[in-house]
Structure 1
Amino acid sequence: MSSALTVDLNRDRLHDVAVPGMYTTDEAFYVALENHGEAVHIHLHLDDTLSTVATLDGGNHYVDSGSTTTVRVGVERVEEPVTGKLKIVTGYGAETAYVDVTVEPFEEENHSVQVDEELGKPQRNASQRRNPAKREPSMSEKFGNRPSSGVSLPLLALAALAILLALLVGVVVDSGVVLVGVGVVIGGVLVALALQLR
């Protein structure tokens, strides 16, 4: 919406009216009657040309001391610019001022957003953009079907610990069932190491 057309009242003296020389709009607007002094009666009037495309919400207005009253001016859509006068009268004719108001054809604002077609394509991460030939391996490539490179040191340490604990339990607990369990654990560890070496 257009900014308000401001009319300053009683700024320098009683019934003083200060207005801009012209005002242009393409839609409804408000006349802001700003009173800087004593309370005053205001009369607004559109000339014959302007009244063909605009309407005032009331002609007579009382503006209290130090307050602002806003008056809406409705505007019709036009094909060609229309210029007329808004008349402002204070103190029952004591002072009169005019503003040339031009109503221009309404232009719809384009609120659409332009989207780059590249945004619709899958994006690669920064390292792939720098070196397309080098790509990050998939999860199955990371954890499955990879050639073994021998037994790692942490795996050997874990196997030795398992065997040591199994032997320790077998020595401490004197039971046939425990001895069979110790044998199973040691056998399992040795089979796992053998599979890892393949």
Structure 2
Amino acid sequence: MTDSLAVAVNRDGLHTLAVPTEFEASGPFAVRVHNHGEAAHVHLNLDDRLSEIARIGATNHYVEAGESRSITVETREPSRWPSDTIRGKLKVVVGHGQETHYVDVTVDRTAANGTVRVDPELGKPNRDSEPELPPLAKLVPVVALGSVALVLAVGAVFTGGGIDVVIGGLSIVAAACCAAAAYYLLG
């Protein structure tokens, strides 16, 4: 699968659709439906021209609130196409006919000649993911715990004898383990 068509449902109110007016693919493609509001039924239909080379497994799709779904539009083997380029319409319906949009679809088997198509959605920031901490921020707890262990170890070695020396030695080992963990986190 090389291409995908983004469909936004209920983004601007109940039973609304946001669909591009044109779409190009070089073969099989996906219709990515994202429901921004109430649960809805989305119907997809290919016109007669597109049906010559493509098919959708199911035309009716129930999409829960906040859910995203990818619906595959399969194409026949390109050697069985009537021509290199097929143009037709994809009908997208929501709310049992309350809102209908048509997308002019061009499927061009010659377009798969090594060019890379970039989905325009990639240029938009992802609001769902949380920013990842920089590597040095991940290191702060390790350094803090290692420093505490080292201070306790040095204090135990210089202030007492017997069991304090053993606890101090174990604390030095703990500090060394923290240092090793920090090395692997940054490495």
- Determine if the TM-score, normalized by the shorter chain, exceeds 0.5: yes
1:85 maps to amino acid: K
Question: Corresponding residue for 2:24?
Answer: 24
Cα deviation 1:29-81 (Å, max 9, x = unaligned): 11011100010011110011111111012100000000111110011314421
C-alpha RMSD of the superposition: 1.6
Residue correspondences, number: 110
**Which 4+ residue blocks in structure 1 deviate beyond 2 angstroms?**
106-110
Q: Does 1:82 align with 2:86?
A: yes
Counterpart CA distance in 1 for 2:101 and 2:113 is 33
Q: Does 1:8 align with 2:8?
A: yes
Question: Corresponding residue for 2:55?
Answer: 55
Larger Rg: 1
Cα deviation 1:81-111 (Å, max 9, x = unaligned): 110000011111111011111110243549x
- Correspondence 1:32-181 to 2 at 5 A: 32-76=32-76, 77=78, 78=81, 79-106=83-110, 107-109=112-114
Deviation at 1:21, TM superposition (A): 1.0
> Is contact 2:41-2:61 (8 Å) kept?
yes
Counterpart CA distance in 2 for 1:8 and 1:94 is 15
Counterpart CA distance in 1 for 2:92 and 2:4 is 15
1:28 maps to amino acid: P
Instruction: For structure 2, list consecutive stretches of 5 or more residues without a partner in the other structure.
Output: 116-187
Counterpart CA distance in 1 for 2:26 and 2:94 is 27
Three-state SS of the structure 1 residue aligned to 2:48 is coil
Counterpart CA distance in 2 for 1:27 and 1:11 is 29
- Correspondence 1:176-191 to 2 at 5 A: none
Cα deviation 1:141-170 (Å, max 9, x = unaligned): xxxxxxxxxxxxxxxxxxxxxxxxxxxxxx
Counterpart CA distance in 1 for 2:43 and 2:30 is 15
Counterpart CA distance in 1 for 2:95 and 2:114 is 41
Instruction: For structure 1, list consecutive stretches of 5 or more residues without a partner in the other structure.
Output: 111-198
Q: TM-score, normalised by structure 1?
A: 0.53
Indicate the percent of aligned positions where both proteins have the same amino acid.
44
Counterpart CA distance in 2 for 1:56 and 1:85 is 13
Counterpart CA distance in 2 for 1:80 and 1:3 is 17
Three-state SS of the structure 1 residue aligned to 2:105 is strand
